[in-house]
Protein backbone atom coordinates (compact mmCIF):
# COMPACT_ATOMS: atom_id res chain seq x y z
CA UNK A 1 0.00 0.00 0.00
CA UNK A 2 2.71 2.38 0.97
CA UNK A 3 4.72 1.70 -2.19
CA UNK A 4 1.59 2.24 -4.28
CA UNK A 5 1.11 5.65 -2.66
CA UNK A 6 4.78 6.50 -3.22
CA UNK A 7 4.44 5.55 -6.89
CA UNK A 8 1.34 7.74 -7.19
CA UNK A 9 3.18 10.66 -5.62
CA UNK A 10 6.12 10.17 -7.98
CA UNK A 11 3.84 9.95 -11.01
CA UNK A 12 2.09 13.08 -9.82
CA UNK A 13 5.42 14.84 -9.56
CA UNK A 14 6.42 13.77 -13.06
CA UNK A 15 3.10 14.92 -14.50
CA UNK A 16 3.48 18.32 -12.81
CA UNK A 17 7.01 18.71 -14.15
CA UNK A 18 5.79 17.88 -17.66
CA UNK A 19 2.95 20.38 -17.41
CA UNK A 20 5.37 23.11 -16.33
CA UNK A 21 7.81 22.27 -19.14
CA UNK A 22 5.12 22.48 -21.83
CA UNK A 23 3.14 25.72 -22.06
CA UNK A 24 -0.63 25.19 -22.46
CA UNK A 25 -0.66 25.61 -26.24
CA UNK A 26 -4.15 24.11 -26.54
CA UNK A 27 -5.64 27.33 -25.19
CA UNK A 28 -8.50 28.69 -27.28
CA UNK A 29 -9.45 32.38 -27.26
CA UNK A 30 -12.66 33.59 -28.89
CA UNK A 31 -13.86 37.16 -29.28
CA UNK A 32 -17.47 38.17 -29.78
CA UNK A 33 -18.94 41.56 -30.61
CA UNK A 34 -22.66 41.92 -29.87
CA UNK A 35 -25.09 44.77 -30.31
CA UNK A 36 -28.02 44.51 -27.93
CA UNK A 37 -31.49 46.03 -28.30
CA UNK A 38 -31.21 49.07 -25.98
CA UNK A 39 -34.71 48.48 -24.62
CA UNK A 40 -33.66 45.00 -23.47
CA UNK A 41 -30.13 45.78 -22.30
CA UNK A 42 -30.84 45.29 -18.58
CA UNK A 43 -32.49 41.91 -19.16
CA UNK A 44 -29.67 40.84 -21.47
CA UNK A 45 -27.00 41.89 -18.97
CA UNK A 46 -28.64 39.95 -16.15
CA UNK A 47 -28.88 36.81 -18.32
CA UNK A 48 -25.30 36.95 -19.59
CA UNK A 49 -23.83 37.66 -16.15
CA UNK A 50 -25.57 34.57 -14.78
CA UNK A 51 -24.36 32.45 -17.71
CA UNK A 52 -20.76 33.69 -17.29
CA UNK A 53 -20.70 33.06 -13.56
CA UNK A 54 -22.19 29.58 -13.95
CA UNK A 55 -19.73 28.61 -16.70
CA UNK A 56 -16.69 29.64 -14.65
CA UNK A 57 -18.04 27.87 -11.57
CA UNK A 58 -19.12 24.57 -13.19
CA UNK A 59 -16.83 24.08 -16.19
CA UNK A 60 -13.17 23.27 -15.47
CA UNK A 61 -12.14 24.20 -19.02
CA UNK A 62 -13.72 27.65 -19.06
CA UNK A 63 -10.82 29.75 -17.78
CA UNK A 64 -12.19 33.27 -18.23
CA UNK A 65 -15.07 35.14 -19.80
CA UNK A 66 -14.75 38.91 -19.85
CA UNK A 67 -17.55 41.19 -20.94
CA UNK A 68 -17.17 44.93 -21.49
CA UNK A 69 -19.23 47.66 -23.13
CA UNK A 70 -17.72 50.24 -25.47
CA UNK A 71 -17.42 53.47 -23.49
CA UNK A 72 -19.90 55.58 -25.45
CA UNK A 73 -22.05 52.70 -26.73
CA UNK A 74 -23.38 50.82 -23.69
CA UNK A 75 -25.29 48.38 -25.93
CA UNK A 76 -22.17 47.44 -27.93
CA UNK A 77 -20.64 44.60 -25.94
CA UNK A 78 -17.35 42.82 -26.45
CA UNK A 79 -16.51 39.42 -25.04
CA UNK A 80 -13.05 37.92 -24.63
CA UNK A 81 -13.26 34.22 -23.74
CA UNK A 82 -10.45 31.85 -22.75
CA UNK A 83 -10.92 28.07 -22.88
CA UNK A 84 -8.41 25.38 -21.90
CA UNK A 85 -8.90 23.59 -25.22
CA UNK A 86 -11.14 23.22 -28.25
CA UNK A 87 -12.86 20.36 -26.42
CA UNK A 88 -13.58 22.66 -23.46
CA UNK A 89 -15.15 25.20 -25.82
CA UNK A 90 -17.30 22.55 -27.52
CA UNK A 91 -18.41 21.23 -24.13
CA UNK A 92 -19.29 24.80 -23.07
CA UNK A 93 -21.62 25.44 -26.01
CA UNK A 94 -23.37 22.14 -25.33
CA UNK A 95 -23.94 22.94 -21.63
CA UNK A 96 -27.50 23.46 -20.33
CA UNK A 97 -26.69 26.93 -18.94
CA UNK A 98 -25.28 28.10 -22.29
CA UNK A 99 -28.27 26.72 -24.20
CA UNK A 100 -30.62 28.47 -21.78
CA UNK A 101 -28.70 31.74 -22.26
CA UNK A 102 -28.99 31.43 -26.06
CA UNK A 103 -32.72 30.72 -25.92
CA UNK A 104 -33.45 33.58 -23.52
CA UNK A 105 -31.27 36.23 -25.17
CA UNK A 106 -31.80 35.43 -28.88
CA UNK A 107 -34.57 38.07 -29.29
CA UNK A 108 -32.46 40.70 -27.49
CA UNK A 109 -29.43 40.58 -29.81
CA UNK A 110 -29.47 42.90 -32.85
CA UNK A 111 -26.18 41.67 -34.32
CA UNK A 112 -23.39 39.26 -33.49
CA UNK A 113 -19.84 39.00 -34.83
CA UNK A 114 -17.66 36.06 -33.75
CA UNK A 115 -13.89 36.21 -34.23
CA UNK A 116 -11.71 33.13 -34.05
CA UNK A 117 -8.16 33.81 -32.93
CA UNK A 118 -4.68 32.41 -32.52
CA UNK A 119 -3.17 33.36 -29.15
CA UNK A 120 0.08 35.33 -29.38
CA UNK A 121 0.68 35.63 -25.63
CA UNK A 122 -1.64 35.52 -22.62
CA UNK A 123 0.05 37.23 -19.68
CA UNK A 124 -1.77 37.46 -16.36
CA UNK A 125 -1.02 37.76 -12.68
CA UNK A 126 -0.93 34.57 -10.64
CA UNK A 127 -1.83 32.07 -13.35
CA UNK B 1 6.56 48.97 19.56
CA UNK B 2 4.39 45.92 20.03
CA UNK B 3 1.18 47.98 20.21
CA UNK B 4 2.20 49.81 17.04
CA UNK B 5 2.56 46.49 15.26
CA UNK B 6 -0.79 45.32 16.63
CA UNK B 7 -2.41 48.51 15.36
CA UNK B 8 -0.83 47.98 11.96
CA UNK B 9 -2.13 44.42 11.84
CA UNK B 10 -5.62 45.55 12.82
CA UNK B 11 -5.61 48.30 10.22
CA UNK B 12 -4.43 45.77 7.67
CA UNK B 13 -7.28 43.49 8.64
CA UNK B 14 -9.83 46.25 8.33
CA UNK B 15 -8.50 47.27 4.92
CA UNK B 16 -8.70 43.68 3.69
CA UNK B 17 -12.25 43.30 4.95
CA UNK B 18 -13.23 46.50 3.15
CA UNK B 19 -11.62 45.31 -0.07
CA UNK B 20 -13.50 42.01 0.13
CA UNK B 21 -16.81 43.74 0.85
CA UNK B 22 -16.47 46.10 -2.13
CA UNK B 23 -15.96 44.57 -5.57
CA UNK B 24 -12.99 46.06 -7.44
CA UNK B 25 -15.05 48.56 -9.42
CA UNK B 26 -11.97 50.64 -10.26
CA UNK B 27 -10.90 48.01 -12.80
CA UNK B 28 -10.03 49.45 -16.19
CA UNK B 29 -10.22 47.36 -19.37
CA UNK B 30 -8.77 48.63 -22.64
CA UNK B 31 -8.95 47.00 -26.05
CA UNK B 32 -6.54 47.69 -28.90
CA UNK B 33 -6.66 46.56 -32.52
CA UNK B 34 -3.35 46.78 -34.36
CA UNK B 35 -2.36 45.94 -37.91
CA UNK B 36 1.33 45.13 -38.21
CA UNK B 37 3.55 45.36 -41.28
CA UNK B 38 3.71 41.67 -42.33
CA UNK B 39 7.43 41.96 -43.12
CA UNK B 40 8.10 43.04 -39.53
CA UNK B 41 5.63 40.76 -37.73
CA UNK B 42 8.26 38.53 -36.10
CA UNK B 43 10.19 41.51 -34.75
CA UNK B 44 6.99 43.14 -33.52
CA UNK B 45 5.84 39.94 -31.81
CA UNK B 46 9.16 39.53 -30.00
CA UNK B 47 9.05 43.14 -28.78
CA UNK B 48 5.45 43.05 -27.59
CA UNK B 49 5.84 39.69 -25.81
CA UNK B 50 8.79 41.09 -23.86
CA UNK B 51 6.85 44.25 -22.98
CA UNK B 52 3.82 42.22 -21.82
CA UNK B 53 5.88 39.85 -19.69
CA UNK B 54 7.80 42.74 -18.08
CA UNK B 55 4.63 44.70 -17.31
CA UNK B 56 2.95 41.75 -15.59
CA UNK B 57 6.12 40.96 -13.62
CA UNK B 58 7.01 44.51 -12.49
CA UNK B 59 3.72 46.41 -12.26
CA UNK B 60 1.34 45.43 -9.44
CA UNK B 61 -1.58 47.20 -11.16
CA UNK B 62 -1.23 45.45 -14.52
CA UNK B 63 -3.49 42.44 -13.98
CA UNK B 64 -3.53 40.91 -17.46
CA UNK B 65 -2.50 41.65 -21.03
CA UNK B 66 -3.78 39.23 -23.63
CA UNK B 67 -2.67 39.33 -27.24
CA UNK B 68 -4.25 37.29 -30.03
CA UNK B 69 -4.16 37.33 -33.82
CA UNK B 70 -7.28 37.02 -35.96
CA UNK B 71 -7.33 33.46 -37.29
CA UNK B 72 -6.91 34.22 -40.98
CA UNK B 73 -5.07 37.54 -40.56
CA UNK B 74 -1.91 36.84 -38.54
CA UNK B 75 -0.88 40.51 -38.74
CA UNK B 76 -4.21 41.76 -37.30
CA UNK B 77 -3.66 41.68 -33.56
CA UNK B 78 -6.13 42.30 -30.77
CA UNK B 79 -5.19 43.18 -27.22
CA UNK B 80 -7.38 42.89 -24.14
CA UNK B 81 -5.77 44.63 -21.16
CA UNK B 82 -6.92 44.65 -17.53
CA UNK B 83 -5.61 47.25 -15.06
CA UNK B 84 -6.43 47.56 -11.36
CA UNK B 85 -7.29 51.26 -11.77
CA UNK B 86 -6.94 54.29 -14.01
CA UNK B 87 -3.82 55.20 -12.00
CA UNK B 88 -2.31 51.78 -12.74
CA UNK B 89 -2.94 52.32 -16.46
CA UNK B 90 -1.36 55.80 -16.39
CA UNK B 91 1.63 54.44 -14.50
CA UNK B 92 1.96 51.65 -17.10
CA UNK B 93 2.16 53.99 -20.09
CA UNK B 94 4.81 56.05 -18.27
CA UNK B 95 6.97 52.98 -17.52
CA UNK B 96 10.42 52.65 -19.17
CA UNK B 97 9.55 49.25 -20.67
CA UNK B 98 6.36 50.59 -22.29
CA UNK B 99 8.17 53.64 -23.67
CA UNK B 100 10.88 51.39 -25.11
CA UNK B 101 8.20 49.17 -26.72
CA UNK B 102 6.54 52.22 -28.31
CA UNK B 103 9.83 53.56 -29.67
CA UNK B 104 10.93 50.19 -31.08
CA UNK B 105 7.58 49.16 -32.62
CA UNK B 106 6.30 52.53 -33.94
CA UNK B 107 7.65 51.88 -37.49
CA UNK B 108 6.17 48.35 -37.53
CA UNK B 109 2.54 49.35 -36.89
CA UNK B 110 0.38 50.13 -39.94
CA UNK B 111 -2.74 51.11 -37.99
CA UNK B 112 -3.93 51.29 -34.41
CA UNK B 113 -7.44 51.50 -32.95
CA UNK B 114 -7.88 51.97 -29.20
CA UNK B 115 -11.24 51.23 -27.56
CA UNK B 116 -12.11 52.46 -24.08
CA UNK B 117 -14.59 50.27 -22.26
CA UNK B 118 -16.84 49.93 -19.24
CA UNK B 119 -16.57 46.47 -17.65
CA UNK B 120 -19.85 44.53 -17.51
CA UNK B 121 -18.46 41.44 -15.77
CA UNK B 122 -14.98 39.92 -15.57
CA UNK B 123 -15.27 36.24 -14.66
CA UNK B 124 -12.12 34.15 -14.31
CA UNK B 125 -10.88 31.08 -12.51
CA UNK B 126 -9.02 31.55 -9.23
CA UNK B 127 -8.91 35.31 -9.11
- B55: contact with A, CB 8 A cutoff: yes
From residue B59, alpha-carbon distances to A80, A94, B56, B65 in Å are 23, 39, 6, 12
- State the pLDDT at residue B1: 42
Chain A environment of B121 (Cβ under 8 Å): 48-49, 52-53, 65-67
State which H helix or E strand residue A86 sits in.
helix A86-93
- State the pLDDT at residue A126: 80
Chain A environment of B118 (Cβ under 8 Å): 68-71, 74
Structure confidence at residue B17 as a pLDDT band (50, 70, 90): very low
- B88: contact with A, CB 8 A cutoff: no
- State the pLDDT at residue B24: 57
Residues of chain B with pLDDT > 70: what percent?
Answer: 80
Q: How many CB pairs under 8 A join A and B?
A: 120
- State the pLDDT at residue B23: 56
List, for residues B35-59, the tens digit of each pLDDT value. 999 999 999 999 999 999 999 999 9
Rounded to whole angstroms, how far apart are CA atoms B116 and B25?
15
Query: If you average pLDDT over residues A92-117, what whole number do you get?
Result: 98
List, for residues A28-87, the tens digit of each pLDDT value. 999 999 999 999 999 999 999 999 999 999 999 999 999 999 999 999 999 999 999 999
For residues A1 and A79, the answer to whether their CB atoms sit within 8 Å is no
Residue A15 has pLDDT above 50, yes or no: no
What are the backbone dihedrals phi and psi of residue A36, each rounded to the nearest 5 degrees, phi first? -105, 145
- State the pLDDT at residue A21: 53
Q: What is the mean pLDDT of chain A?
A: 87
- A74: contact with B, CB 8 A cutoff: yes
- State the pLDDT at residue A1: 41
Q: Where are the beta strands (DSSP E) in A1-127?
A: 28-36, 62-70, 73-83, 109-124
Amino acid sequence: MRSLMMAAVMLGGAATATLHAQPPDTTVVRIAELVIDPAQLDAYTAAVKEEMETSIRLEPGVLAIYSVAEKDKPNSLRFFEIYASEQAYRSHIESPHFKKYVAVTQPMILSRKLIETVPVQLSAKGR
